[in-house]
Amino acid sequence: MTKEMKTILLVEDDKSLNKIITMKLENAGYCVVSRETAEESLLYLDKELPDLVWLDIYLPGMDGFEFLEKIRGNPKTKDLRVVVVSVSGSNRKIELAEKYGVVDYFVKSNYRIDELISSVTKIINGHSG
């Protein structure tokens, strides 16, 4: 019996970071759909629903909070599991993210990429933390 490959939508505008995270997630056995803008991500979500969204807050054009507002306002995407991974972790931003029902909020500088991958793996497989 093979387990179905889980899909992660990665929304990260930093090209090199996007590439590294994609590679590491794929090596961990996930199907990764990589997008650099919220707008591109919304177009993808019109057609497909991933198991998890890895979301950066600082994006060109529409930011991560506007993206969260849009997906939470859409009946098709309102229950998507979202993990925020951002350079900024002010209390206000974390509270706003929690208001939008994110599963977790990680400040990039506090974690190595491998630690983030491990945390996301636990979340996507149904374990919290």
CA 40, CA 79: separation in Å to the nearest integer? 19
| pLDDT above 90: percentage of residues in the chain | 91
Is the pLDDT assigned to residue 8 strictly greater than 60?
A: yes
pLDDT at 127: 64
Q: Using CB atoms within 10 A of its CB, is residue 97 exposed (0-12), middle (13-18) or buried (19+)?
A: buried
pLDDT at 125: 85
pLDDT range class, residue 104, cuts 50, 70, 90: very high
Rounded mean pLDDT, 18-38: 97
The pLDDT tens digits of the residues spanning 72-84 come to 999 999 999 999 9
pTM, two decimal places: 0.93
The per-type count for the chain, helices as H runs and strands as E runs, is 5, 5
